[in-house]
Amino acid sequence: MAAGSAVPVPASHLDRARDAEPATLAANKAMAARLPFSDVRDFAAAQRGLIAPVPDGVVQSAGGTVLWNLGEYAFIKGELAPATVNPSLWRMARLNLANGLFKVADRIYQLRGFDISNMTVIEGDTGLILIDPLTTAEVARAAFALYCAYRPKKPVVAVIYTHSHLDHYGGVRGVIDEADVKAGSVAVIAPNGFMEAISGENVLAGLPMIRRAQFQFGAMLPRGARGQVDAGLGKGVARGTPGLIAPTQLIVQAVETHTIDGVEIVFQLAPETEAPAEMHMFYPQLGVLNMAENACPLLHNFIPLRGAVARDPRIWAKYIGDAIRMYGPKTDVLIGQHHWPTWGRDAIRDYLEAQRDLYKHIHDQTLRYMSKGWRPAEIAEAIDLPPGLAERWSVRGYYGTVSHNVKAVYQRYLSWYDANPCNLHPLPPAPAARKFVEYMGGATAAIARAKADFAKGEFRWVAQVMKEVVYAEPGNNEARALCADALEQMGYQAESATWRNAFLYGAQELRHGVFKMPTRAAMSADTLAGLSTDVFFDALAIRLNPAKAAGHDFAVNWRFTDRDDALVLTLKHCTITHRMGEQSEQAAASVTTTRAVLDLLVLHKLTTQEAFASGTLRIEGDASQFALLFALLDEPGSIMFDILTPGEGRP
């Protein structure tokens, strides 16, 4: 079954969101009884320093397209959660509605609620220092305009990226002009390894991450008590045009101090924590510590549902501990690039110590059970937060969860394999599902038993069993509907916004099929231009189709005049490799061009003929080998591949 062509579901099953089942009502009632809902201090903190809200709660493009709309969340009112929303998640959904321009401390302001992340503004002596300019240019521009409407207008003298995730740099073109960066009037500062980290997460594995992120953030779910209510870190990710301006300055030492426009900033690198390249900042004159995304008021991800390299919670806890030691005694306000600040030295130390111990506890206890031979799913069922942490709002699993973070720790140390040889070489999902269903006595018998279990509230098991029936018989609409119903109840119970979104979006796709979207480039022109030539050719190599490449064996020399880069690319054994800084005398062709031209060719914004005619592309030797190279590459596929059902062409 091809992506975008899911088996149609009969009208009787469409728009069939159910009420909360008795088991869900009981689970959510138990959650409400377990946590200290009388503690409302976070609501005061989230509103403290508000100067003005997001105008009308809406950001639009120049053409009138709505890119951000807090009005979609008007249903989130009152303390009492609907039956279809976990009460703890409902509380965070209310808190994440706080929005607008906020004064944090003298010279420090934040723009919150324009996007999933915050933009922080520091007022220097003559200009402004902007930290993390949101996800897209349009939304960043609107946020900065709100700041300018209430504060003296000054030029931007620096932009700082705290780390290598799109919601912390993608809106940069909405707040500065690249010409000013090239002229030296605006600095762009980032942690060491920033560009390499972007290349790894957003380029080499970018396409499947985009698809998986649909489940994590629930962007295509309807907003409402039976749909998307939050994303944990914020309401959701803003739409618009993401971009990138490469850093002009990297922070490379473990701790570096720089004075920018009269503001002293102590940078603390924290690599391999929430992002591969990340850093904290302390502003000594202002008594403010910025922990970027390493100490949000929730449990973060060790691997997000969209996918990433497994993060290291042991070193994450260490860097939080280092920040406590180095800056805690001098910190009056703690800020991050999500959510709201914490004020007061005692409260800040208490908050950071809980964050430190949260990550270390999950890490250590997972290793303890691993040493006993326990498997990932078994450990995930056994570990929960201990007394002293479990009842704290600031460590609840609204974004990450103890369950999937435990599995990330296991993966980091022992890989995906649980050491049981029965799991070493199993059948692929679809043929295995057909055998499972046959062993169950057929789909009809399995569905009948699953309906009985659904009535008993055993939703996890029903989803697990019906997944097999759906993979065995993708056209079995009764199985699809029952699986969707089970996922929906699991979503209603989930405290994690990302789990809720994944469960509900899974239910939506089972009922309606895969949403059809127009084909688009897997990466933006800015991201492509920001890649090193080395990584660019790694990205090219993963598109090679071995069936087309069979029997071909050649080398091509490349020289890029705008970057002073040279390399030799070799196609051999149906594999592309390259060696930077080398040229081969046996190469079939030698190409001289610029990276800018090559980027345009790959983005299909320039044809080979046009490049030849303009003189920006020159080839010596056998030009047919150049053409052949690109003919052997697959075009990037649609991001809307099948997940809930088996896909066409798979085993």
Which amino acid, residue 265?
A: I
* Tens digits of residue pLDDT in 329-348: 999 999 999 999 999 999 99
* Tens digits of residue pLDDT in 42-92: 999 999 999 999 999 999 999 999 999 999 999 999 999 999 999 999 999
> What CATH number does the domain located at 426-512 have?
1.25.40.880
Question: Residues spanned by CATH 3.30.1050.10 within the chain?
Answer: 525-631
pLDDT for position 50: 98
Burial 447-471, CB ≥16 within 10 A → b, else e = beebeebbeebbbeebbebbbbbbb
Facing residues of 187 across strands? Answer: 158
Q: For residue 303, what are its two tokens?
A: 């691997």
342-343 and 333-335 strand pairing? antiparallel
pLDDT for position 199: 83
Facing residues of 109 across strands? Answer: 103, 121
**Helix and strand totals (H; E) in the chain:** 22, 21
Q: How far is CA 458 from CA 55, 508, 529, 625, in A?
A: 45, 20, 50, 60
Q: How many angstroms separate the CA atoms of 435 and 431, rounded?
A: 6
Read off the pTM.
0.94
pLDDT for position 8: 40
Which amino acid, residue 273?
A: T
pLDDT for position 5: 32
Measured in whole angstroms, how far is the alpha carbon of residue 515 from the centre of its chain?
20
Series of mean pLDDT values for 10-residue runs along the chain (651 residues): 35 65 98 97 98 98 97 96 98 98 98 98 98 98 98 97 97 98 98 91 82 95 97 97 97 98 98 97 98 98 95 98 98 98 98 98 98 97 96 98 98 96 96 97 98 98 98 96 98 98 97 82 82 93 95 97 96 97 97 96 92 96 94 86 87 82
Question: Residues spanned by CATH 3.60.15.30 within the chain?
Answer: 39-395
Distance spanning both ends of the chain, measured CA to CA:
12
Give percent helix, percent strand, percent coil of the chain, each to the nearest 5. Answer: 40, 15, 40
Q: For residue 375, what are its two tokens?
A: 């498997």
> What CATH number does the domain located at 525-631 have?
3.30.1050.10
Q: What is the DSSP string of 9-76?
A: PPGGGTT-PPPPPHHHHHHHHHHHHHS-TT--HHHHHHHTTEEEPPGGGEEE-TT--EEEEGGGGTT-
The owner of tokens 């509103």 is 47
Question: Residues spanned by CATH 1.25.40.880 within the chain?
Answer: 426-512
Phi and psi at 244, nearest 5°, equal -160, 135
- Please say whether the beta carbons of 164 and 200 come within 8 A: no
Q: What top-level class would CATH report for the domain 39-395? A: alpha beta
Q: How far is CA 146 from CA 53, 57, 114, 118, 139, in A?
A: 9, 12, 10, 13, 11
Q: How many angstroms separate the CA atoms of 123 and 577, rounded?
A: 48
Longest dimension (CA), the chain: 77
pLDDT for position 13: 43
589-593 and 618-621 strand pairing? antiparallel
Phi and psi at 554, nearest 5°, equal -160, 170
Q: For residue 104, what are its two tokens?
A: 């944090």
pLDDT for position 136: 97
pLDDT for position 173: 98
Q: How many angstroms separate the CA atoms of 162 and 279, rounded?
A: 6
Determine the 3-state secondary structure of 286 from DSSP. coil
Determine the 3-state secondary structure of 134 from DSSP. coil
